[in-house]
Amino acid sequence: MSEETSVLVFGIDELASAVARKLHLAGYAVAINQSSPPDTIRRRMAFVDAWTDGTCTFEGVEARRADKSKDFLAGLRSGMFIPILWHNFEEVTDRWPWDVLVDARPLNGKSRQRVRSLAEITIGLGPGFTCGDDCDIVIDIGKRDPGAVLRSGSIPVRDPDEDAAFPDGKIVHAPHHGLFHIAKFLGDIVEEGEVVGWIGTTPIQAPGSGRLRGLARDASAVSKGAQLAEVATSTDADCAGMTKRDRLIARSVSFVIEMERAGYQPISFENFL
């Protein structure tokens, strides 16, 4: 593992995990930052369970929660696993002289956090980022042109349904707060209306027929409106591992970092007009 380029990926959902995995396999010294308990329910499609369980393996790559500095350094230097940092933004960005920052956190209605100038290369994934302001480079994650690289301007915020990463999924939300207990397991085939879990004495029913792609952790405390389960209704739906779109975006991130670190200048077709 080369220590010449260290990369910090913000986020731990499906896309962030795909990006971290790709960069790790590309030989970069990679860490993930997730400062709050993750609410990702597609747990076979991300490193999310490592945040709670301490470790998990996603598509052949292991991630471990790094509670101590020695654990963080061991993962970063050895390349044996991806360390997960739970510390806050300011602490984690100051913890190591990061060469690259990749903000892969989903848009949540708030303004994007400015990462530009905190590393040599800063990359924002998806809408809400502006090149030269929030970050240096923006990469599109929408289904129209996933992986497209912007070096100026920003990606417009589009209709969420139009760019939904999992349009074939039906999600059930918590009707009230409480402890969620599972009655099914990830990957199980369910029928619409079948009980997939309970919050106290309240049954949580499958919103459609298909395969359980997402499921909150057993005995987890949930708030009203939290995602509890997702049913993939399509027979050929991705239910584990990376989606084709996330794989393409991850490759784009890796390519951009490689080109930037090598000093290559992007071709401008304006010069040919």
The per-residue pLDDT for range 69-96, each reduced to its tens digit, is: 999 999 998 999 999 999 999 999 987 8
121 and 19 in a common domain: yes
185 and 58 in a common domain: no
Q: Among candidates 165, 160, 105, 162, which has minimal Cα distance to 134? A: 105
144 and 85 in a common domain: yes
20 and 92 in a common domain: yes
122 and 28 in a common domain: yes
Mean pLDDT of the chain: 92
129 and 27 in a common domain: yes
Q: What are 174-178's contacts with CB under 8 Å, separation 24+?
A: 174/199, 174/204, 174/222, 174/223, 174/224, 174/225, 174/226, 174/227, 174/228, 175/199, 175/202, 175/224, 176/202, 176/224, 177/221, 177/222, 177/223, 177/224, 178/202, 178/221, 178/222
Q: Among candidates 226, 223, 227, which has minimal Cα distance to 178? A: 223
Q: Is residue 126 part of a domain?
A: yes
77 and 47 in a common domain: yes
Residue range of the domain that includes 202: 169-232
140 and 52 in a common domain: yes
- CA distance linking residue 128 with residue 108, whole number of Å: 10
82 and 10 in a common domain: yes
154 and 68 in a common domain: yes
Residue 267, pLDDT score? 61
Q: What is the DSSP letter of 28?
A: -
Residue with tokens 């029928």: 191
Q: Is residue 238 part of a domain?
A: no
Q: Is residue 77 part of a domain?
A: yes
Q: How far is CA 137 from CA 81, 134, 145, 148, in A?
A: 27, 9, 16, 10
Residue 156, pLDDT score? 84
The CATH number of residue 201's host domain is 2.40.50.100
Q: Is residue 215 part of a domain?
A: yes
Q: What is the pLDDT of residues 157-191, one digit of tens each?
A: 777 666 677 888 999 999 999 999 999 999 999 99
The CATH number of residue 35's host domain is 3.40.50
Residue 161, pLDDT score? 66
Which pTM was predicted?
Answer: 0.92
Residue 158, pLDDT score? 76
Residue 272, pLDDT score? 45
67 and 192 in a common domain: no
Q: Is residue 50 part of a domain?
A: yes
Q: Is residue 128 part of a domain?
A: yes
Q: Is residue 237 part of a domain?
A: no
Q: What is the number of structural domains in the chain?
A: 2
226 and 188 in a common domain: yes
Q: Is residue 220 part of a domain?
A: yes
Task: Decide if pLDDT at 253 tops 90.
Answer: yes
Q: What is the pLDDT of residues 197-212, one digit of tens each?
A: 999 999 999 999 999 9
